[in-house]
Amino acid sequence: MLTLACRDSARIRFEVRNVGATDTTLRLGSVLGNGRQYTIDSLHLLQKMPAGQVTEQHYWPHDYPGVIGGLLGEWVEAIPARASYSVSAEASDFINDVSGRLVTFTAGAELSLRLTILAPREQGMLPVYWSGILTSNLLVAANDDGL
């Protein structure tokens, strides 16, 4: 399960929760620099504006590298039964090729996240893992007052 919460007009929190009764693992992304940095892969923010148009941004915070050279490892995270992994993010952590980085979430826009979780590569196969696409709940972006 993927849940999304709005902290204010520029910050959100998202959580991946194992709602099952069995421990599992998820391939959340990539490991760079022999474990110096972990990147969440394939996380997208969808914003449905009050006028109806939908925009999509990719999660790539400022401290993620602009270019990746060298080996990429798999970031596989254990999620025990009824446990979760959560991340805080700022609007500026989301980018697209047309409009660049967000500054704030558009007040009144409906926000949701889509996280694609790939299966581990064969050489890294684990006995129990989950892969697929998680889509978060919808929420309405806060204004600057946090309402």
Task: Tell me the per-residue pLDDT of 84-138, one tens digit each, with 9 for 90 and over.
Answer: 999 999 999 999 988 899 999 988 999 999 999 988 776 655 566 777 788 888 8
Q: For the domain bounded by 2-24+42-61+79-118+129-140, which CATH number is listed?
A: 2.60.40
pTM here is 0.84
**Which of the four pLDDT bands, split at 50, 70 and 90, describes residue 29?**
very high
- The residues near 59 (Cβ < 8 Å, ≥ 6 apart) are 40, 43, 44, 45, 89, 93, 94
pLDDT score of 142: 73
Counting Cα atoms < 13 Å in the Cβ hemisphere of 129 gives 18
